[in-house]
């Protein structure tokens, strides 16, 4: 039984497509975070205005301003959730095809070199492995050379151990375990806005 490992996160970060995807996600993250920061600043200013002047206002003005604050508060929370969802979806879209191509390359390597199992080292908690059993550099080189694109590179072919997990479609080649690389380009998600309402 021959086993090898691959670091899909490093491969994703070091391929040309992965770098471009990460840069796009970083730009989108900054845009969304800037918008949240602006809204949060406006909410803070509104709260300070209420605290400063509430004793001077009529009951009607108090009620109107407090309702205005509560609406802005809820809108900010909802926008945060929406941006988190959007960033997660964009990250999945940006990295999914890249990881799928990498897994196609890994199946070909597994078939050609007789590996029974190829493990994603971050998912499996691999502490150490000889460098000759780490396929990461080979995957990066073959990916950047264009292998795995539709109509390019080597033919897929069947046979070998069935693929397991990883999310890539298609059969054949050595089994790959783990859920694929996390994108990591979105900056870990937008910062959460305040959760305390005006009293």
For 40, 42, 197, the CA distances from 47, given in Å and listed in that order, are 10, 9, 9
- Say if 63 falls within a structural domain: yes
Between 59-113 and 16-53, two packed helices, what is the crossing angle to 10 degrees?
170
Q: Which of 93, 111, 123 is nearest to 161 (CA)?
A: 111
Number of domains in the chain: 1
pLDDT attached to residue 155: 43
Closest to 6 (Cα-Cα) out of 92, 150, 105? 105
Q: Does residue 190 form part of some domain?
A: no
Per-residue pLDDT of the chain (199 residues; tens, 9 = 90+): 899 999 999 999 999 999 999 999 999 999 999 999 999 999 999 999 999 999 999 999 999 999 999 999 999 999 999 999 999 999 999 999 999 999 999 999 999 999 999 999 988 888 898 999 999 999 999 999 999 775 444 444 444 433 333 433 333 444 555 544 444 444 456 777 765 555 5
Closest CA to 180 of 94, 84, 87: 94
The answer to whether the beta carbons of residues 170 and 183 sit under 8 Å apart is no
CB 157 within 8 Å of CB 108 = yes
Q: What is the pLDDT of residue 124?
A: 81
> Does residue 195 lie within any of the structural domains?
no
Q: Is 149 helix (H, G, I), strand (E, B) or coil?
A: coil
- Return d(Cα 169, Cα 149) in angstroms, integer: 14
R_g (Cα) of the chain, nearest Å: 25
Residue 193 lies in a domain: no
125 lies in some domain: yes
Q: In this structure, is residue 74 part of a structural domain?
A: yes
- The whole-number pLDDT of residue 123 equals 87
For 130, phi then psi, to 5°, come to -60, 145
Per-residue pLDDT, 144: 96
Calpha distance 157→46 (Å, rounded): 64
* 198 is a domain residue: no
Domain that holds residue 137: 3-177
Task: Kindly state whether residue 192 falls inside one of the protein's structural domains.
Answer: no
Pair 149, 102: CB distance under 8 Å: no
What is the DSSP annotation of 83-143? HHHHHHHHHHHHHHHHHHHHHHHHHHHHHHHT-SEEEEHHHHT-----GGGB-HHHHHHHH
């Amino acid at each position: 039984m021959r086993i090898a490992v691959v670091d899909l996160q490093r491969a994703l970060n070091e391929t040309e497509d992965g770098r471009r995807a990460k840069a796009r996600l970083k730009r989108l993250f900054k845009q969304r975070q800037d918008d949240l920061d602006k809204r949060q600043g406006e909410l803070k200013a509104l709260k300070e205005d209420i605290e400063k002047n509430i004793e001077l206002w009529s009951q009607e003005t108090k009620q109107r301003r407090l309702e205005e604050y509560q609406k802005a508060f809820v809108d900010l929370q909802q926008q945060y959730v929406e941006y988190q969802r959007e960033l997660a979806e964009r990250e999945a879209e940006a990295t999914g095809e890249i990881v799928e191509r990498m897994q196609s390359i890994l199946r070909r390597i597994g078939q050609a070199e007789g590996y029974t199992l190829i493990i994603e080292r971050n998912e499996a908690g691999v502490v150490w492995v000889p460098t000759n059993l780490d396929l990461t550099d080979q995957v990066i080189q073959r990916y950047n050379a264009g292998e795995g694109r539709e109509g390019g590179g080597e033919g897929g072919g069947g046979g070998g151990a069935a693929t397991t997990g990883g999310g890539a479609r298609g059969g054949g080649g050595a089994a790959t375990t783990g859920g694929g690389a996390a994108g990591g380009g979105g900056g870990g998600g937008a910062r959460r806005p305040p959760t305390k309402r005006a009293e």
